Chain A
Amino acid sequence: MAKKKTIRTIPQARTAMPEQSPQARVKNFEEVACGYRLEDALLEAQRCLDCADQPCVRGCPVGIDIPGFIKKIEGKNFHGAYDVITDTNLLPSVCGRVCPQENQCEGVCTVGETLEPVAIGRLERFVGDMAIAEGWANVPYIERNRFKVGIVGSGPAGMACAADMAKAGCEVTVYEAFHEPGGVLKYGIPDFRLPNRVVDVEIEKLTRLGIRFECNTLVGRLFTVEQMLGEMGFHAVFIGTGAGYPSFMGIPGESLGGVLSANEWLTRCNLMRGRDFPNFDTPLQPGKRVAVIGAGNTAMDAMRVSLRVGAEKVYCIYRRSAAEAPARAEEIHHAQQEGVDFQWLTSPVELLGDADHNVRAMRCERMALGEPDASGRRRPVAVPGSTFEFECDMVVFAIGTNANPILGQTSGLKLDKRGYIATDANLATSIAGVYAGGDIVTGAATVIEAMGAGRKAARGMKAHLGLRDTDSVYLHDSADAADRLFGIDRRERGFARVHLA
């Protein structure tokens, strides 16, 4: 390597990523951001200072060795970069696309103190996409043990936990209620942000670790968590069923035709391919004038999907201001570019229907920001006399979700007061051997946080089963990272595991 880089010697500007123009992309479901080309990735990789304290690694919920993989890119060793990433993250193509990097790795990047931070997410995606194109897959040497692990839910939390348990040698079965695995990556996040084929390829790689996916299986109803531990012979179970159960506001008119949750709208469109109706059978009935309530990432997805299936006008109705909106800045920016009309500081009070029980208009009131509430955000208060109406023929609620009640109804799992599954710091639930993580524990959060929870639960499960955790046992005492393969220390091979009774 040449002499030490400094903030003055690296390329000053962050390498731009090619994008579809707003006019073109709003008519299709192709990806908005087209990804780095080889020369873009090589240029951007030069911007990493390889700094000593590596804040980016701590900023990543799964602790990817970020300077490590970027250095491999710089040295044009792309397969090596893929190996480094997949030591800790099996879904680089997914995470590189959907993580809110500005709040995670990139948010704490040293370069970002002076210049724009290194585009870590884009580089990760570049490596992941190259691996897909080249057909790379890391199938580690796996020493089988006698343990069976069941995973409930095939979303990001379940996938991450499944991967870690499979690498530890367990026989892993993932149960999914839908007819296809992937969870929110498939039904929720639209193809223009994360193509479903990318998710399918990443899942296919997990099956190469020996993980079995059983779809059409509704745990809690077809069999219970207790049955999994009992007659079905699982030694440990992880629950990653997501949050689901969308919230509505309880205002008049919510049962009118054309009023639906973002989850329903996105599922019909993305997973069921209602956008290709009647080639696919699920009807969509898109609106011409659509109002989406909420300003999180789900709301942005719902709005941008609406535009792509033919809406002429899409409103974002949010009771706070742009500064408080929970969506990623990039998503809001993309939605603005595509023509979404943002109505900040606005709250719906009633939905008005026509003679056929379909929604025809929304009545709202304007809000002002008052004193900070318990969450520290300024509480919106209605401005007296500010009520107004506008016409719309579809209303989508994207104001969050509640805990899904099925597992609470059908198992002895202890729930917290909001109905989510209660866990300890290691994500163990009230039933011995049962762990839980992701949205069903924390409420709606991000893909990478769910993956982080899946991995954390896997550590807890390994401890419960008496399996050595290679990450915590060897990661730090191994002098040379090259002595590790796929996250497993080479010395781990042939290690005889003891199950503590």
Chain B
Amino acid sequence: MKALVAVKRVVDYNVKVRVKTDGSDVNIGNVKMSMNPFDEIAVEEAVRLKEAGKVTEIVAVSLGEKKCEDTLRTALAMGADRAVHVETDAVLEPLAVAKLLKAVAKKEQPQLLLLGKQAIDDDANQTAQMLAALLNTPQGTFASKVELEGGEVLVTREIDGGLETVALKLPAVISADLRLNEPRFVKLPNLMQAKKKPLEKLSPEGLGVNIEARLNAQRYAEPKQRQAGEKVANVAELVEKLRAVKAI
């Protein structure tokens, strides 16, 4: 079966993002960009399913500016077979992303659609659920285990009190949690090979999807800064201070 994996290019997780002084945006000029960590896990899972003989072809999809090609090349180097880039400089909200992915899925007809559970920039945690809704397929969100079995996919999900397992009819949308797997490192020869793999270019217009922004980001602000407090010398002093502020 065919698997489709959606990957997003985001500010690297180690970068501490700052808000511009005029509050108009966050400052992400010249910072390191990487594949969203949750999407790396989604790609890894697709590759493992292919290595296990369950998946025959992996199509990686990314949406956005030209440089998303780099992210797609990384996915190809990890083991995806080909890539689709829906190129646009527009700001894409999760609903628009879900609509674009739906349009790509209609062309590709995958049985398995793998995404990260959230992007570490907008922290929305919406796209997979929206895509499943638009395709009228089941969803296995926050997955920490995925097993293909008899025309169904068994997904173990991370929920607040522990874990739960659901069985989904195919085609199905799955969103990866951190615990699903440990993504492999990309080796140089694989990166070289990835340059030869096919990368198809599409546009939102070509797919007939309206991506007009619905939300207006009015301003950005730094979080309230916590100040470093005081050093205490020992446990007795700590207990005394906590009693003084009525924390215990």
Instruction: State whether these chains interact.
Output: no
